[in-house]
Amino acid sequence: MSISKKCDLIGANVRQRSRSVTNERWQIASKLIFLNVLLIGLPTIVCYYCLKLGNISLKWLHVSLVVLYLTSAAMLIAESTSAVTRRFASQVWFPLSWPDTVKHQLKKILGMRGAALPAQGQPLPRCSFIVAAYLPNEQSIILETLDHLLNRVHQPEAGLEVILAYNTPVALPMEHTLTRLARKYPNFRPYRVEGSHSKAENINAALTIVTGDITCILDADHHPAPDCFERAGRWIAHGYDVVQGRNMIRNRDENLLTRLVAVEFESIYGVSHSAKSLMVDTALFGGSNGYWRTSVLQQIRFNPTMLTEDIDASIRTLLQGYRIVHDRSITVTELAPNHISAFWSQRKRWSQGWLEVSVSPFVGADFAECF
């Protein structure tokens, strides 16, 4: 290739990167503009205009607030009652007394019995964990998580695979430790994803090498229950494509913030999510402690351009006709943010991500065709 052609090629690449950076900046700016105009500016203008005119009644606004409150209260009561009286993954290991038998029959008549843990059929197939990590920030906790997965989780007869899909801008001494750990555990595979800048890209890369029929997605600080695959595998064997478990806070006693997050997670994962799944037979994948039929996960994948790639994947999964169930007995423990700055960054990203999914024109479309 001549020098002039090389220069033209370099110039084209520079211009393409410049356009990419400009588009990315505009996407961020447009999201902020939309958020402020729609959620803050428009309601403020409407209320000010009504008050300025003076002759417009705000009774409709008061009635709307009352209706919204009563509807929310009714939903909370329904969810709490459903979560308390109906349970997933319950299995009776001893004969019931006659009062318990009557109680169970009454629940069944009232439609409050819930779904029992499906009976064990065929042996579990090969299963895989994909742990996504940004190694510079999570190298202090990753070894504890890997030890838990490799030594405490029950391994199916067909085998259990643990893939650590991580990205790092620079080489770290921790990578040598991971290599030594892989020599000790043949079923452990550290996988550095070159060029990755997100959890979604790490998982998508790992999906090209995963070998299990059931794949669980975890974050670097998550420790699942030992029998997680046994419980999730039964739902998948009975027709579900994704099983979402219950997340619990492991460092809840650290300070007031972690205690509040622990209570919030119990309300969300222990009551709301499980109750919705019981009432309407559907659920959402929450980003971790989700057990996927691997073929479905390889088809759905994760969109690295979305702030909440898990919710985007959930919506696309449901719109394509796949089934998700929530089982609160499949538990995982994780670490809550212990500083208000980390908490604010997390919740701001969640809020913006949910809004982004709500207004995205690509939700429900084939990810591979759109990007």
The set of residues, in sequence order, having a beta carbon less than 8 Å from that of 90 and lying 6+ positions away, is 114, 116, 117, 329
H helix and E strand count, the chain: 15, 8
Q: How confident is the model at residue 20 (pLDDT cuts 50, 70, 90)?
A: very low
pLDDT at 150 over 80: yes
What integer is the mean pLDDT of 299-326? 91
As for how many domains the chain has, the answer is 1
User: Do 214 and 293 contact (CB within 8 A), yes or no?
Assistant: yes
Assessment of whether the complete model's pTM goes beyond 0.85: no
CATH code of the domain in which 358 resides: 3.90.550.10
Closest listed residue to residue 289, CA positions, set 119, 175, 153, 181: 153
pLDDT of amino acid 94: 46
* Percent of the chain surpassing pLDDT 90: 46
Neighbour count for residue 324 (Cβ, 10 Å): 21
- As a whole number, mean pLDDT of residues 12-31 equals 51
The residue among 141, 169, 130, 160 whose CA lies nearest residue 302 is 130
The reply to whether 253 falls in a domain is yes
The answer to whether residues 81 and 55 touch, using CB atoms and an 8 Å cutoff, is no
For residue 190, is it within any domain?
yes
pLDDT tens, position by position, 215-249: 999 999 999 999 999 989 988 988 899 999 999 99
Kindly state whether residue 312 falls inside one of the protein's structural domains.
yes
Q: Is residue 358 part of a domain?
A: yes
Position 76 in a domain = no
Model pLDDT, residue 50: 74
Which amino acid is located at 135 in the chain? L
Tokens encoding 58: 């705000």
pLDDT class for 114, splitting at 50, 70, 90?
Answer: very low
Nearest in space to 281 (alpha carbons), one of 24, 88, 68: 88
Q: pLDDT at position 361, please? A: 62
Residue 168 DSSP class: -
Is residue 365 a part of any domain in this protein?
yes
Nearest 5°: phi and psi at 58? -100, 20
Query: Is 108 domain-assigned?
Result: no
* Domain membership flag for residue 149: yes
- What residue numbers bound the domain in which 154 lies? 127-370
- The pLDDT, as a whole number, for residue 338 is 92
Please report the pLDDT score of residue 186 as a whole number.
95
